[in-house]
Structure 1
Amino acid sequence: MLRLNPEQMAERVAKDIPDGAYVNLGIGMPTKVANYVSGDKLVIYHSENGILAVGPAPAPGEENPNLINAGKQYVTLLPGGCYFDNAESFAIMRGGHLDIAVLGAFQVSARGDLANWATNNDKYPPAVGGAMDLAVGARKLFVVMKHTDREGEPKILEQCTYPLTGTGVVQRIFTDLAVIDVTPDGLQVVELFGSNTFDEVQALTGARLLPPA
């Protein structure tokens, strides 16, 4: 089966972000999305630690130690960008000013529940950050994650087994195998990557999928 790498997954997410959108990129794989804005779009990326108009990652040797995102990664600032404190940043997140939030996830349920802050494993302390604020504050929530975990177990399930970040908040799931929409009728496969078949992806999913239209 074809599995996209993280860079390819980020590029695929970027294709679905419309021109003029204000978008928060969560910690981890979502931050890579800022590297893939096509030249015919203006997308304003927000970072939780207080940056608006985040640009692509800097070239090696051009890092500014004073300019990092919420994941402590070096970033650039696009023309017209600005900085502000956490209070203003969370007001943007909670106030409905973001068109899209792109977050990672441990699990997503068939009805769009999101679990991305705790795994019930004491070895990995929970870290919610601003995920709950984004899950309810952004107008749309995209999830980008691998289709299965390190043990090969499905991360898309009928019901999440980890503590929830938000209920019914996810609209679209981007994995390394496919793009899937959460709809009132169920999980609708929008795109299968490469030669991946519906049956192959279904076998690695812990919830019933609807085939591409």
Structure 2
Amino acid sequence: MGMGVDIRNQMARRAAEEIQNGMVVNLGIGIPSLVPNHLSEETKVMFHAENGITGMGPSPTKGEEDENLCNAGGFPVTLTCGGSYTDSAIAFGMIRRGKVDITILGSLQVSQNGDLANWIVPGKKVPGMGGAMELAQKAKKVIVVMNHCDKNGNPKIVPACSLPLTSSKCVDLIITEMAVFKVTEDGLLLTELFAPYSLENVVTKTGSEFNKSENIRRIPY
């Protein structure tokens, strides 16, 4: 299991590179929630949650939780200096007006033209789509952090999503444990490889065609 946690943090650390000072950032549940651990002290951002917090701080220490203060996934959080509360209607208003700079989401599938399918596997119980539909449409940058393949070994990057879409043509960047892809007008562009994976590994495990950057960045362990 230790290896898995490291891979999760490796992906979160890469996603954190996209965040700049002063941004409003919305994080999905799962791997995206690890992103704040990888921001430098100098990077001051406001983390936004659909349930009505702007300015979420780190997880509270055990025994210090405030039962009234949680994120959209229901986990206890803290509030940073300058943070604020609203009702969820205002929180969604912020998203719909384009006030969120970056959203970092998990996904079940992403297509080669940036379609996002991250809310339901038909036949499985789900709590609902949540804010993903609005965030995918309205955030200035949409970053997907996900495993390269599902637990059956099927590629999650596909020519066209077979699962119901959350939103079409919305994803800007895909980060997996193997590689980083930009979604461009000409399809997917492989820009980075994580050690120890090779280009051949990525070709084998990716369901769709992709272009390769002239200078592929190699990210060490």
TM-score range, shorter chain: over 0.9
AA partner of residue 144 (structure 1): V
SS at match of 1:202: helix
AA partner of residue 151 (structure 1): N
Q: Cα distance, 1:126 vs. partner?
A: 6.2
Structure 1 residues 67-113: Cα deviation after superposition (integer angstroms, max 9, x where no partner): 11000112121111011101100100111111111111100000000
Q: Cα distance, 1:26 vs. partner?
A: 1.5
Q: Calculate percent identity across the aligned residue pairs.
A: 46
Match for residue 126 of structure 2? Answer: 125
Match of 2:113 among 100, 111, 129: 111
Are positions 1:58 and 2:71 aligned together?
no
Are positions 1:78 and 2:87 aligned together?
no
Is there any run of 5+ residues in structure 1 with no aligned partner, and where?
A: none
Match for residue 151 of structure 1? Answer: 152
Distance, in Å, in 2 between the alignment partners of 1:56 and 1:36 is 12
Distance, in Å, in 1 between the alignment partners of 2:88 and 2:77 is 18
Is there any run of 5+ residues in structure 2 with no aligned partner, and where?
A: 215-221
Are positions 1:102 and 2:96 aligned together?
no
**Superposition pairs of residues 35-50 of structure 1, within 5 angstroms:** 35-50=37-52
Give TM-score scaled by structure 2 length.
0.90
SS at match of 1:89: helix
Match for residue 200 of structure 1? Answer: 201
Match for residue 24 of structure 2? Answer: 22
SS at match of 2:13: helix
Distance, in Å, in 1 between the alignment partners of 2:10 and 2:155 is 20
Q: RCO (CA 8 Å, sep 6+): is it higher in 1 or 2?
A: 1
Structure 1 residues 100-152: Cα deviation after superposition (integer angstroms, max 9, x where no partner): 111111000000000011112x1333620111111111111111111110101
Q: Name which of structure 1's ranges 48-57 and 29-38 shifts more when overlaid on structure 2.
A: 29-38
Distance, in Å, in 1 between the alignment partners of 2:57 and 2:127 is 29
Match for residue 187 of structure 2? Answer: 186
Distance, in Å, in 1 between the alignment partners of 2:69 and 2:36 is 15
Q: Cα distance, 1:55 vs. partner?
A: 1.5
SS at match of 2:213: coil
Contact 1:37 1:43 in 2 (8 A): no
Give TM-score scaled by structure 1 length.
0.93
Q: Name which of structure 1's ranges 122-131 and 198-207 shifts more when overlaid on structure 2.
A: 122-131
Moved over 6 A (4+): none
Match for residue 219 of structure 2? Answer: none
Q: Cα distance, 1:7 vs. partner?
A: 2.2
